[in-house]
Amino acid sequence: MELVRSLHLVAAEELLSVAGLILLLVAAWGGDKAARAISIASVGVLTVCALLAAPALCSGATGPDTLAFGGQYKADAFSAFAKLLIYAGAAVTLIVAPAFFDRFKAMRAEFPLLVLFASLGMGMMVSASDLLTLYLGLELNSLASYVLAAFLRSDDRSAESGLKYFVLGSLASGILLYGVSLTYGFTGHTSFAGIRAALGAGPMSVGATFGVVFILAGLAFKISAAPFHMWTPDVYEGAPTPVTTFFATAPKAAALALLMRISLEAFGAQPQAWQQIVIFASLLSIVIGALGAIGQDNIKRLMAYSSINNVGFMLIGLACATQNGAAAMLIYLAIYVAMSVAGFVAILMLRDENGDPVESIADLGGLSKTRPGLAAALAAVMFSLAGIPPLFGFWGKFVVFQAAVQANLVALAAIGIAASVIGAFYYLKVVKVMYFDEAVDKVRGKSDAAHVVLLAVASLFISPLGYLLTNWLHALAGNAAAALFHVA
């Protein structure tokens, strides 16, 4: 009965595994001609997986009934919230990818399969309640991501970004694994519940503290938090834009959710051991993200620094070490995923008359005169990322700062608000080029229908209409955060 119950709880991962293997056979027999059909089937699989995960979130599932395989896997409301964001980011990637790769005659059947297996790894990451499950899911996601970054073999930048991501990712995995070994050695447990009990039994040893530091450092790389952010601009610029869209949404959500779970569950008994680390990473990410973006002339590199900056703001919620802080972080994460989808879909639509990508910010001069709809959507993304009301991105920053004030982290909130003003400069620069510079008229390519629909949906979500969803979003984020703070 225990095995049957466990298999029921991991239904989404089972579906991804079985579907991935079946579609792998289809790819072997059908070749690259079957790539579009495999992509469509993969989107269907991800949709079903989202439907399987949704009930746990809506019901606020938590407690012993959510544990599977002897406590190594947890299908609670928190993991369900993260999985919905993961599956949404993966599905968007698969929808926008064919039109991009077809122009290079590089759409291969392996692409949707790699996204599926990466999604499987990310699902395991956010449901992990044991260090072994955590590492297994993390590496499954990472191995697929390294290949995706270098997927466009005809582009030297793509190969370079894949190599950089692989080398630095391997280093981060080694750091994380060393932290795991130290944590196990000084607590005697690999389960999050066992680690929490061991750390809560008395003062934290020096060895266990080093274990916490190394684990957080390894995860900081995965979320591109400073000072482990160095790979982000190069990989975002060099990777194919659909892959960059994927990196900015699904893996980002998975890594942040994993960081939340291990900090608040496994290390939750000793928050003072990691709060200062998170605050330092938060402030450094905010500052480096804001200042690093100012001199960028490539729109994808600018979005990379924007990602670093926004991760810093999200870490403010984690630094609170409270349920309100966790809920605020999840709300910000959901809004950030929507903003990233809108931003990168708009970037995918920036093409010249030959269909080649237009990535230079200077080439967007006068876009409001030649492509007013696209310029308006991209401007909305920039204003929302800057946190300017009444766009929905403002609400993400507001709830995080509010949680920080409630947790008596007033100085952190004040610094974050001040840094938001600095960060607004480079977002406004893009808007200024589109609306006030002379028309360059370089963006002439026709937009794919799927891109237009996705951009319209994401833009509506981040528009003032998004505030209609605040009660619903707060309720779901509250259910997810409550699951993190449930101690059996």
pLDDT digits (tens, 9 = 90+) for 10-41: 999 999 999 999 999 999 999 889 999 999 99
Calpha distance 370→437 (Å, rounded): 12
Residue 143 has, within 13 A of its CA and on its CB side, a CA count of 11
Contact of 398 with 327, CB cutoff 8 Å: no
Kindly report, residue by residue over 206-222, the tens digit of the pLDDT. Answer: 889 999 999 999 999 99
Kindly report, residue by residue over 374-416, the tens digit of the pLDDT. Answer: 999 999 999 999 999 899 999 999 999 999 999 999 999 999 9
pLDDT at 287: 92
Per-residue pLDDT for 488 more than 60?
Answer: no
Residue 280 has, within 13 A of its CA and on its CB side, a CA count of 11
Per-residue pLDDT for 272 more than 50?
Answer: yes
Helix 323-348 to helix 299-319 angle (10° resolution) is 170
Specify the residue for token string 């991009």: 100
Residue 42: closest CA among 88, 83, 91, 97: 91
- Give the chain's mean pLDDT: 92
Residue 16: closest CA among 137, 108, 139: 137
What Å distances lie between residue 54 and 30, 76, 381, CA to CA?
33, 10, 27
Helix 372-386 to helix 410-436 angle (10° resolution) is 160
Q: With bands split at pLDDT 50, 70 and 90, how would you rate the model's confidence at 1?
A: low
CA quadruple 318, 322, 325, 326: dihedral, nearest 10 = 70
Per-residue pLDDT for 89 more than 60?
Answer: yes
Calpha distance 129→192 (Å, rounded): 5
Calpha distance 155→359 (Å, rounded): 15
Calpha distance 306→249 (Å, rounded): 13
Total Cβ atoms within 10 A of residue 154: 9
Kindly report, residue by residue over 32-87, the tens digit of the pLDDT. Answer: 899 999 999 999 999 999 999 999 999 988 988 899 998 899 999 999 999 999 99
Kindly report, residue by residue over 280-330, the tens digit of the pLDDT. Answer: 999 999 999 988 888 889 999 999 999 999 999 999 999 999 999 999 999
pLDDT at 3: 84
Domain boundaries, the chain: 274-488
Q: With bands split at pLDDT 50, 70 and 90, how would you rate the model's confidence at 422?
A: confident
Per-residue pLDDT for 486 more than 80?
Answer: no
Calpha distance 41→46 (Å, rounded): 9
What Å distances lie between residue 257 and 76, 179, 359, 484, CA to CA?
13, 18, 31, 10
Specify the residue for token string 């869209």: 245
**Encoded amino acid at 288, one letter:** I
Kindly report, residue by residue over 432-463, the tens digit of the pLDDT. Answer: 999 998 888 888 888 888 899 999 999 999 99
Q: With bands split at pLDDT 50, 70 and 90, how would you rate the model's confidence at 226?
A: confident
Buried b (16+ CB within 10 A) or exposed e, 91-128: bbbbbbbbbbbeeeebbbbbbbbbbbbbbbbbbbbbbb
Alpha helices in 60-130 (DSSP H): 77-102, 110-127
Per-residue pLDDT for 335 more than 90?
Answer: yes
Average pLDDT over every residue of 122-148: 94
Calpha distance 473→455 (Å, rounded): 21
Average pLDDT over every residue of 93-106: 87
Contact of 447 with 358, CB cutoff 8 Å: no
pLDDT at 420: 87
Calpha distance 194→189 (Å, rounded): 5
Adjacent-strand bridge partners of 298: 360
Q: With bands split at pLDDT 50, 70 and 90, how would you rate the model's confidence at 487?
A: low
| Four-residue CA torsion sign, 155, 97, 161, 381 | positive
